[in-house]
Amino acid sequence: MPIKIDSSWESVLKDEFEKPYFKALTEFIKQEYSTKTVYPPGPLIFKAFNECPFDELKVVILGQDPYHTPGVANGLSFSANPDKKVPPSLQNIYKELNADLGVPISTNPDLTKWAEQGVLLLNATLTVVKGQAGSHQGKGWEEFTNKVIEIISNKKENLVFILWGAYAQKKEVLIDSTKHFVIKSPHPSPFSAHNGFFGSKPFSKTNRYLSDKGLTPINW
């Protein structure tokens, strides 16, 4: 499985691709795709990186797993293919965006336009077997994506990290909060959104920080 990733990321992550754990992960993933139905489709595994070059990175939104239902996952956390319904967590994200910035509630589940503006929509695990949530956890993806967070924290400055829910917030130890702005709240899932996600205003906080640093805000 050749790593098809944007050249700006290739130069930053090339050492990681040579490590034994990543080579073992690559062999495992290759075998899984050849014997099972795995999401997202192979060419979209690194979509989060390919739509958001390293040099243009401004915001990181951390998710956990790709959607495991047919045809939904598109390689971006919280995002789905445009012909699908808006997933429940994203419905709540759109509601909060509307309350925060007055943006009309979208019926488009594809967040590619965010990624194209410098928002890295990064899942901790980049692949999943059809119908089996969490099936590729503990195989090496988390080691890779943790390293990604660590590298961008070290090499960049003035990024916004948006950590929704307990799982994402565990990654805060990888982030240098003296150089970056960390936003934390409960997860937008229907099970937890009413516990403090609604009203947390992550979008206006992000844009205010970017503006204060002389950077172009995100057109959410």
The answer for residues whose C-beta is within 8 angstroms of residue 178's C-beta and 6 or more apart is none
Q: Is the dihedral of CA 98, 47, 171, 137 positive or negative?
A: positive
Q: Is the dihedral of CA 100, 103, 106, 111 positive or negative?
A: negative
**83 included as an active-site residue:** no
The answer for residues whose C-beta is within 8 angstroms of residue 217's C-beta and 6 or more apart is 206, 207, 210, 211
Alpha helices in 36-87 (DSSP H): 47-50
Q: Which of 6, 15, 65, 176 is catalytic?
A: 65
Amino acid at 218: I
The catalytic site residues sit at 65
